[in-house]
C-alpha cells in the first residue's frame, strides 16, 4: 500500500491504496465520484477521460503511484456554485446527450480543448474528441454543442466587444 | 508486486542494478498498463519513472536531443521538431488519440519495440541514436541496431533509455510519413512508411525509406532507396520502385491484415507518396 496526495477538483485528497490501482478505480470506488465512466478499460473509448494537469488523459491507464502532486478535474468539478459549465449547458441545449455514457468524457475533452483554443474549427473539434466514442448521437450535435460553448465562452470573456466584427466571424 | 518511484537517474540505475526478478519501468503506461490488465505481463517490480527529469527537447548546434519521457503530444506540437524533424511531428500527431498522446512517451514507444510503433520509421530515416544508461555509464546505439524482434530490444535489464538524438533536417529535405490503419484515430498501423530524400533537377538523391509493421522489426527499404536515386523522377521510376519495395517487405499475416494485403499496401503507400512529392516539387 502507498499513500498519495493529489488534488481532485478543488479538494486536496490523501489516500492509502494499492500502487497499481487505476485513477479510474480510485475516483469511482475510493472517492465516490461516479461521473467518470468505465467503458473498455484499455484506453480506446474515452469514457474515463479526466483532465490531469491541464491535459485530457484516459484515467483507466493512470496508476495510483503516478498521481503524487497531480491536479485532476472530473465532470463533478466543472460546475461552479450550482451553475453548470458552458460546455455542459451547450450539450443540454443542443441535445448532444442520448444514453449519456460517453458524455462526461466527451465534455472533458471539449473543455480541455476550449481551455487552450477559444475559437476552434470543426476539424479541431473532431481531432479533440477523436478519442471519445459515442454510439448514440452520430457526433453532429456534439460538435454543434462544442461550437456553441466556444461562442458562449468568447462572449463571457469579452463582454464589451460584442460588436459587429466578432459577430460576423461567428456566423 | 513492489513499486518504486525514484526521483533521480542515479537512484533509478541503482535500483535497476540491485533488483533480482523481473523489473518493468513505467513511463506513460499506455502499453504496459494494458499488458498488466490483460495479464500478459506480471511485474514483480515496477519502477515508476514518471518523475525523472527526462522531459525535454533541446537544440544543440545541428543536433536535436529528446528526453525519453517527452510525451507524444509535446513532440507533435514542438516548434523545433516541426522545423527540424517535421516527419517526426507528423507521425506523432497520427498516434492514438489526444488522451493517449498526453500520456504516451517517445521512450516508451521505442522501448516497447512494436514493429508498428509510429515514431520509429521516422527515427530510422532521421538516423537517430538511442542513449542508454546503467550504473556505470552510458552507451549509444543507432536506432536500426536497437531492435532484436517483435517486443524485443538490445537493452540490458539494468539499463534505462535516456534520450534520442539526431541531426536536424535541412529545409531542402523532402519527406512523407504514411500510415494505414483500420480508421483515422486510435488505430495501430497495419503498414507505415517513412520517406526522406532530396530532389534536384528532377532526380532524387539521399533517399532513405523505413517500413513499419511489415517485418519483425521496423526495417530500411535499402534496395528501393538505392534504386530511386539519380534517375529521372518519372512515372516509370515510381512504378518500378513500388514493385521493388513489395519484394523487400516481408510482412506477416495477423489479426489486423494478411501478408499479401500488407505487401500491396506498402507499394501503394510509396506510389502515392512519390506522386504527391512529384506534384509538389515540379511546376507542372
Ligand atoms: C488506445 C491506444 C492507442 C495507441 N495508438 C498507438 C499508435 O497509433 N501508434 C503507436 O505507435 N502506438 C500506439 N499505442 C501504443 C502506446 O501508446 C505507445 O507505444 C506509447 O508511446 C508507449 O509509451 P508509454 O510511455 O505509455 O510506455 P509504457 O507503457 O510506460 O512503457 C512501454 C514499455 O517501454 C518500457 N519503457 C518505457 N520507458 C522506458 C525508458 N525510458 N527506458 C527503458 N524502458 C522504458 C517499459 O518498461 C515498457 O516495457 C496506443 C496505445 C493505446 C492504449
Ligand atoms: S475506459 Fe478508459 S478509455 Fe475506455
Ligand atoms: S450518448 Fe450514448 S454513447 Fe454517446
Sequence spans of domains, chain A: 2-77, 86-160
Asked if residues A126 and B185 have their Cβ atoms less than 8 Å apart, the reply is: no
The sheet with strand B219-220 has its strands ordered as B174-180, B191-200, B203-212, B219-220
Cβ(A41) to ligand 2 under 6 A?
Answer: yes
Protein residue whose Cα sits closest to atom 4 of ligand 3: A134
Of B132, B151, B167, which marks where a domain is finished?
Answer: B167
CATH code, A86-160: 1.10.150.120
**E runs forming strands in B20-60:** 23-26, 45-48, 57-60
Q: What is the pLDDT of residue A130?
A: 96
Q: A2-77 architecture in CATH?
A: Roll (3.10)
Query: In this structure, are B178 and B156 located in the same domain?
Result: no
> Which CATH number is B228's domain given?
3.30.390.50
Q: What is the ipTM of this complex?
A: 0.92
Mean of pLDDT over chain A: 93
Total of domains in chain B: 2
Go through chain B and tell me how many residues it has. 284
Same domain for B157 and B266? no
User: What is the rounded distance in angstroms from the CA atom of residue B91 to the CA atom of residue B109?
Assistant: 12
- Measured between beta carbons, which residues in chain B are less than 8 angstroms from residue A52? 102
C-alpha A11/C-alpha A14 separation (Å) is 10
Q: Nearest by CB to B185, which of A52, A58, A131? A: A131
> Ligand 2: does its nearest atom lie under 6 Å from the Cβ of A57?
no
Using alpha carbons only, give the angle B100, B106, B107 rounded to the nearest 5 degrees: 120
Q: How many CB atoms lie within 10 A of CB B230?
A: 12
- Per the CB < 8 A criterion, the answer to whether B195 and B270 are in contact is yes
Minimal C-alpha gap between A78 and chain B (Å): 18
Do residues B41 and B143 share a domain? yes
Which residues have C-beta within 8 Å of that of residue A130, sequence separation ≥ 6? B97, B98, B184, B185, B186
pLDDT in tens, A72-92: 999 999 999 999 999 999 999
CA distances from B6 to A6, A138, A170, B52, B273 (A): 18, 45, 50, 7, 45
Please report which ligand is nearest the Cα atom of A37: 2
The per-residue pLDDT string of chain B (284 residues; one tens digit each, 9 = 90 and over) reads 899 999 999 999 999 999 988 999 999 999 999 999 999 999 999 999 999 999 999 999 999 999 999 999 999 999 999 999 999 999 999 999 999 999 999 999 999 999 999 999 999 999 999 999 999 999 999 999 999 999 999 999 999 999 999 999 999 999 999 998 766 666 677 899 999 999 999 999 999 999 999 889 999 999 999 999 999 999 999 999 999 999 898 766 666 667 888 889 999 999 999 999 999 876 54
Residue with cell 474549427: A121
Residues A92-150 have pLDDT tens digits of 999 999 999 999 999 999 999 999 999 999 999 999 999 999 999 999 999 999 999 99
B102: chain A residues, CB-CB within 8 Å: 52, 55-57
Share of chain B above pLDDT 70, in %: 94
Same domain as B143, residue B55: yes
- The 8-class DSSP code of residue B143 comes to G
Q: Which of B129, B151, B167 is the last residue of a domain?
A: B167
Do residue B99 and residue A20 have CB atoms under 8 angstroms apart? no
Provide DSSP, B159-185.
-EEEEEEEEPPPTT-EEEEEEE-SSSS
For the beta sheet containing B23-26, the strands, ordered from the edge strand earlier in sequence to the opposite edge, are: B2-4, B45-48, B23-26
Looking at CA atoms only, how far is residue B229 from chain A in angstroms?
Answer: 37
Strand, helix or coil at A134?
coil
Amino acid at each position: 500500500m502507498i499513500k498519495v496526495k493529489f488534488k481532485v477538483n478543488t479538494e486536496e485528497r490523501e489516500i492509502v491504496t494499492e500502487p497499481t490501482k487505476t485513477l479510474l478505480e480510485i475516483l469511482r470506488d475510493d472517492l465516490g465520484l461516479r461521473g467518470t465512466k468505465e467503458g473498455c478499460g484499455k484506453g480506446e473509448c474515452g469514457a474515463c477521460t479526466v483532465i490531469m494537469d491541464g491535459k485530457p488523459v484516459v484515467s483507466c491507464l493512470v496508476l495510483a503511484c503516478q498521481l503524487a502532486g497531480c491536479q485532476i478535474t472530473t465532470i463533478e468539478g466543472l460546475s461552479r456554485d450550482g451553475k453548470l459549465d458552458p460546455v455542459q449547458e451547450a450539450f443540454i441545449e443542443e441535445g448532444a446527450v442520448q444514453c449519456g455514457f460517453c458524455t462526461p468524457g466527451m465534455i472533458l475533452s471539449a473543455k480541455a480543448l476550449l481551455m487552450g483554443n477559444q475559437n476552434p474549427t470543426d476539424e479541431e473539434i473532431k481531432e479533440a474528441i477523436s478519442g471519445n466514442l459515442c454510439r448514440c448521437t452520430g457526433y453532429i450535435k456534439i460538435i454543434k454543442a462544442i461550437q456553441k460553448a466556444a461562442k458562449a465562452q468568447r462572449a463571457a470573456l469579452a463582454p464589451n466587444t460584442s460588436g459587429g466584427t466578432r459577430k460576423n466571424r461567428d456566423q | 508486486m513492489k513499486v518504486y518511484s525514484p526521483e533521480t537517474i542515479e537512484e533509478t540505475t541503482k535500483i535497476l542494478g540491485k533488483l533480482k526478478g523481473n523489473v518493468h519501468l513505467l513511463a506513460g503506461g499506455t502499453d504496459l498498463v494494458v499488458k498488466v490488465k490483460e495479464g500478459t505481463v506480471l511485474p514483480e517490480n515496477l519502477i515508476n519513472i514518471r518523475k525523472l527529469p527526462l522531459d525535454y527537447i533541446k537544440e544543440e548546434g545541428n543536433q536535436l536531443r529528446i528526453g525519453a519521457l517527452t510525451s507524444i503530444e509535446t513532440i507533435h506540437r514542438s516548434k523545433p521538431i516541426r522545423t527540424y524533424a517535421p516527419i517526426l511531428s507528423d507521425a506523432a500527431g497520427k498516434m492514438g488519440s489526444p488522451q493517449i498522446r498526453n500520456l504516451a512517451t517517445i521512450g516508451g514507444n521505442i522501448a516497447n519495440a512494436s514493429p508498428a510503433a509510429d515514431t520509429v520509421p521516422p527515427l530510422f530515416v532521421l538516423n537517430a541514436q538511442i542513449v542508454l544508461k546503467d550504473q556505470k555509464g552510458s552507451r549509444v546505439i543507432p536506432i536500426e541496431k536497437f531492435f532484436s524482434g517483435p517486443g524485443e530490444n538490445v537493452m540490458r535489464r539494468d539499463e534505462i533509455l535516456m534520450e534520442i538524438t539526431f541531426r536536424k533536417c535541412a529545409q531542402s529535405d523532402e519527406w512523407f510519413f504514411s500510415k494505414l490503419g483500420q480508421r483515422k484515430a486510435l488505430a495501430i498501423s497495419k503498414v507505415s512508411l517513412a520517406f526522406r530524400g532530396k530532389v534536384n533537377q528532377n532526380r532524387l538523391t539521399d533517399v532513405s525509406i523505413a517500413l513499419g509493421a511489415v517485418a519483425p522489426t521496423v526495417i530500411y527499404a535499402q534496395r528501393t532507396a538505392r534504386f530511386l536515386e539519380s534517375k529521372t523522377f518519372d512515372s516509370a521510376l515510381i512504378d518500378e520502385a513500388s514493385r521493388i519495395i513489395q519484394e523487400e517487405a516481408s510482412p506477416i499475416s495477423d489479426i489486423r491484415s494478411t501478408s499479401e494485403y500488407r505487401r500491396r499496401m506498402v507499394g501503394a503507400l510509396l506510389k502515392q507518396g512519390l506522386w504527391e512529392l512529384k506534384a509538389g516539387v515540379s511546376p507542372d
